[in-house]
Amino acid sequence: MNQEAFINSLFNQNSKNFSLFPDKESAENFIDSLFNFLFLPKTVKHKQVADLTKEYESLKSHLSTLVYDVLLDSEKTQTVTANFFQIIPALYQELIKDANTILQFDPAAVSVEEVLVAYPGFYATAIYRLSHQLHKLGVTILPRIFTEYAHSKTGIDIHPCAEIGSSFFIDHGTGIVIGETSTIGNNVKIYQGVTLGALNVSKDKASTKRHPTIEDNVIIYSGATILGGSTIIGHDSVIGGNVWLTYSVLPNSIVYHKSEVAVKDKFPEIESFNFVI
Q: Kindly list the domain boundaries of the chain, sorted by start residue.
A: 21-156, 162-259
pLDDT band at 276 (very low <50, low <70, confident <90, very high): very low
- SS3 call for 183: strand
Q: What is the pLDDT of residues 225-235, one digit of tens each?
A: 999 999 999 99
Q: Read off the pTM.
A: 0.89
* Identical fold, 21-156 and 162-259: no
Candidates 54, 131, 67, 42; CA nearest to 95 is: 131
Using an 8 Å Cβ cutoff, are 142 and 134 in contact? yes
Q: Is the pLDDT of residue 272 over 60?
A: no
The residues near 42 (Cβ < 8 Å, ≥ 6 apart) are none
Which burial class, exposed, middle or buried, applies to 125 when counting CB atoms under 10 A from its CB (0-12, 13-18, 19+)?
buried
Percent of the chain whose predicted confidence (pLDDT) is above 90 = 75
Average pLDDT rounded to a whole number, residues 168-183: 97
Percent of the chain whose predicted confidence (pLDDT) is above 70 = 92
CA Rg value for the chain: 23
Q: Is the pLDDT of residue 17 over 80?
A: no
Starting at the edge strand found earlier in the chain, the sheet holding 177-178 runs 157-158, 177-178, 195-197, 225-227, 244-245
Average pLDDT rounded to a whole number, residues 134-151: 97
Which of 2-16, 124-138, 218-232, 250-264 bottoms out in mean pLDDT, i.e. has the lowest? 2-16
pLDDT band at 93 (very low <50, low <70, confident <90, very high): very high
Q: Is the pLDDT of residue 134 over 90?
A: yes
pLDDT band at 6 (very low <50, low <70, confident <90, very high): confident
Average pLDDT rounded to a whole number, residues 74-102: 97
Backbone CA torsion sign across 243, 247, 248, 249: negative
The whole-number pLDDT of residue 273 equals 46
Rounded distance between C-alpha atoms, residue 31 and residue 33, angstroms: 5
CATH architecture of the region 162-259? 3 Solenoid (2.160)
Other residues' Cβ atoms within 10 Å of the Cβ of residue 143:
25
pLDDT band at 72 (very low <50, low <70, confident <90, very high): very high
Average pLDDT rounded to a whole number, residues 88-92: 97
- Provide φ and ψ at 239, rounded to 5°: -105, 115
Q: Is the pLDDT of residue 192 over 50?
A: yes
Which residue(s) pair with 232 in the sheet?
A: 213
CATH class of the domain whose range is 21-156: mainly alpha
